[in-house]
Amino acid sequence: MHSDGYYFGSTLAKRVDYFAFPRTGSHFLWTSFTGLFDLVFFANQFVDNPEARQRNDELNPLATYAMKLREDGIPIQPVYINAAPNGVHGGPVLGADPVIILIRNPHPTIYSWYHTATERWSARIDDIPSWIRDAYAGYARFYDTALDLARTHPDRVHLIRFEDLKNSPAPLAQVAAFIGVRPKLSPEFVFEWTRFDRMTREGKRTFYRTGDNATWRTDPVWNDHLRRVNPGDFTRFGYSEQP
């Protein structure tokens, strides 16, 4: 594959730009992508570094093996998904290629981001309420831009909700149709193997944490911070739940 033509062998790869805010479930979705598509990559720091290899150690090897399979008769259809078209977690922009955007309920998103930063990367956060306030403001800016792109360019921007990914194989079929390729594995098969409890290894994990949207609600200290911060209304993003 080379950058001037995006060919894989003699086949022109489909190219898509991808945007998501931190901790919205990108790595969960990308495991599904490996089952649906013949993904191709340029060598880059996102796929070959110690952090990426450590993340993979938290996955069930049977699930990652299953995602490498291919159903009989499905041709190779290379797909290049640019995971950082505007920098790592850079705000959504519409360029020459179609766009996929992943969104998740902001409350578990910010909660997961905080705990991953402090427990996995040993970040020191002295003023937690201020950090939470800034994180919610960043989420709002990111997805205000994202939803505006989706409204104004519905034929070129495809929005995926993390919550829908957890509930049904339908979003996987829809994203394959958006990209315009036949999945190498059925969305139903991929969905079954990427259920969060099946995709991850048992035991303590610091990157693939709980995969649910409810854990933050049972943390009284966190909810005390939220009441002080009052992060605001997120119904415009499709999430009416309030702290």
Find the length of the chain: 243
pLDDT for residue 53: 65
Please tell me the predicted confidence (pLDDT) of residue 45. Answer: 59
pTM above 0.85, yes or no: yes
> Do the Cβ atoms of 187 and 7 come closer than 8 Å?
no
Q: Which amino acid is at 175?
A: V
pLDDT of 65 strictly over 80:
yes
Distance, in Å, from the CA atom of 102 to the CA atom of 143, rounded to the nearest integer, reads 10
Q: Copy the structure tokens of residue 73.
A: 């008769």
Kindly indicate the confidence band of residue 28, based on its pLDDT and cuts at 50, 70 and 90.
confident
Instruction: Indicate if the pLDDT at residue 119 is higher than 60.
Output: yes
pLDDT in tens, 88-97: 889 999 999 9
**CA dist 210 to 23, 25, 76, 97, 136, Å?**
12, 11, 34, 33, 20
Cβ atoms of 164 and 111 closer than 8 Å: no
* Cα separation, 57 vs 54, whole angstroms: 5
Judge whether residue 185 has pLDDT over 60. Answer: yes
CA nearest 158: which of 83, 97, 98, 234? 98
What was the pLDDT predicted at 134?
97
Q: What are the sequence ranges of the domains in the chain?
A: 7-235
| Residues in contact with 155: Cβ distance below 8 Å, sequence separation at least 6, in sequence order | none
Position 234 pLDDT exceeds 80: yes
Mean of the per-residue pLDDT values for the chain? 89
Amino acid 196: pLDDT: 82
pLDDT of residue 2: 46
Identify the architecture of domain 7-235 in CATH. 3-Layer(aba) Sandwich (3.40)
> Taking residues 121-138, what's their average pLDDT?
94
